[in-house]
Amino acid sequence: MIIGEEVLHYDITDSTNNEAKRLCEKEVVHGRLVVADRQTLGRGRRGREWLSSNNDGIWMSYILEPSMKPVTASTLTLVAAMAVAKAVTETTGLKVGIKWPNDIVCNDRKLSGILTEMQSEDDKVRYVVIGIGINVDTEGFPSELKEVATSIYMESGYKISKSDIIKHVSIYLEKYYNEFLATCDMAGLKEEYEALLVNLGRQVYADDGREVKEYTAMGINEQGELVVKDACGNVKNIRAGEVSVRGIYGYV
Ligand code: BTN
């Protein structure tokens, strides 16, 4: 099935990622898309909550069934970020970029986040769920998010059709997913990803849970790792999930 060809729409669910995983326990249907108007338990990365109890954003999860190893499939989160960035720009005219590995940002504030989860058996992926949250009509955020979050409405002043954005995300996810499948890495997508990478050439703090170090972001490698350089010129690759990255002057 083409990605996004089948859409299951819910008025409300706990989390579209949870719903997608429940569906996969019965049957894995590649390309199936789960969309909800509201989530009661929206989840973000690193165990954070994702604000999605209002019908003012796109809360959706794609089910994919790639035949590859989990370590390869984890890079699909970068592929999804490209699809969201491209779709938002095309439907809104806003200039957006990607904060590595998969936050979509506009004017240095987060517009969209992605939570990729998977199930595997014997080092082979059974399914991947790519959960995407896009702040669309949000008119304001609580004080703790004010400095870091934004929405399409806040950036453009317009209320844009959510279904149009979803359609474009699906089209671009299908395109980039197939390009990724050709080599099972970012070789064919690296240049386009780096053109969207807002961290490029900027100072970043990398936090591996033990220590925080400062680097300059140089780009990504074919595995989707962030290539960074320290003050002495030593180059290092940082893997998403193991290390979190933030800007030294703020979120980006
Ligand atoms: C992040 O940046 O922390 C990731 C946020 C992912 C949010 C989306 S909304 C749809 C899907 N369902 C969830 O519970 N989370 C993802």
Query: Model confidence over 186-245: pLDDT tens digits?
Result: 999 999 999 999 999 999 999 988 999 999 999 999 999 999 999 999 999 999 987 888
Which amino acid residue places its CA nearest to atom 9 of ligand 1?
133
Mutation to probe ligand 1, out of 12, 17, 46 (largest number of atoms < 8 A from CB): 17
Tokens of 123: 């080092």
Q: Which residue has the higher pLDDT, 248 or 15?
A: 15
- Could you tell me the pLDDT band of residue 147, with boundaries at 50, 70 and 90? very high
Q: How far is the CA of 235 from the centre of ligand 1 (A)?
A: 32
For residues 160 and 152, give the distance between their C-alpha atoms in angstroms, rounded to a whole number: 8
Which amino acid residue places its CA nearest to atom 3 of ligand 1?
44
Residue 9 predicted with pLDDT over 80: yes
Binding-site residues, ligand 1, Cβ < 6 A: 15-17, 39, 42-45, 48, 50, 52, 59-61, 103, 113-115, 131-133
Q: What is the pLDDT of residue 249?
A: 66
Q: How far is the CA of 49 from the centre of ligand 1 (A)?
A: 8
Q: What residues have CB less than 8 Å from 121, skipping those under 6 apart?
A: none
* 3-class DSSP string for the chain: CCCCCCEEEEEEECCHHHHHHHHHHHCCCCCCEEEEEEECCCECHHHCECCCCCCCEEEEEEEECCCCCHHHHCCHHHHHHHHHHHHHHHHHCCCCEEECCCEEEECCEEEEEEEEEEEEECCEEEEEEEEEEEECCCCCCCCCCCCCECCHHHHHCCCCCHHHHHHHHHHHHHHHHHHHHHHCCCCCCHHHHHHHECCCCCEEEEECCCCEEEEEEEEECCCCCEEEECCCCCEEEECECCEEEEECCCCC
Mean of pLDDT values over 137-154: 96
For residues 163 and 168, give the distance between their C-alpha atoms in angstroms, rounded to a whole number: 9
Whole-prediction pTM value?
0.97
Q: How far is the CA of 15 from the centre of ligand 1 (A)?
A: 8
Q: How far is the CA of 2 from the centre of ligand 1 (A)?
A: 22
Tokens of 220: 């990504």
Contact 3, 174 (CB under 8 A): yes
User: 128: how many CB neighbours lie within 10 A of its CB?
Assistant: 26
Q: What is each CA distance from 221 to 67, 101, 188, in whole angstroms? A: 22, 12, 11
Residue 250 predicted with pLDDT over 80: no
Mean of pLDDT values over 89-99: 97
Q: What is the pLDDT of residue 247?
A: 82
- Could you tell me the pLDDT band of residue 59, with boundaries at 50, 70 and 90? very high
Q: What residues have CB less than 8 Å from 189, skipping those under 6 apart?
A: 78, 79, 82, 176, 179, 180
Residue 104 predicted with pLDDT over 70: yes
Q: How far is the CA of 208 from the centre of ligand 1 (A)?
A: 22
Residue 141 predicted with pLDDT over 80: yes
Mean of pLDDT values over 127-135: 98
Q: How far is the CA of 115 from the centre of ligand 1 (A)?
A: 5
Which atom of ligand 1 approaches the CA of 36 most closely? 10
Q: Minimal CA–CA distance to 231: which of 248, 209, 244, 252?
A: 248
User: 174: how many CB neighbours lie within 10 A of its CB?
Assistant: 18
Per residue in 152-194, pLDDT tens?
Answer: 999 999 999 999 999 999 999 999 999 999 999 999 999 999 9
Which atom of ligand 1 approaches the CA of 14 most closely? 14
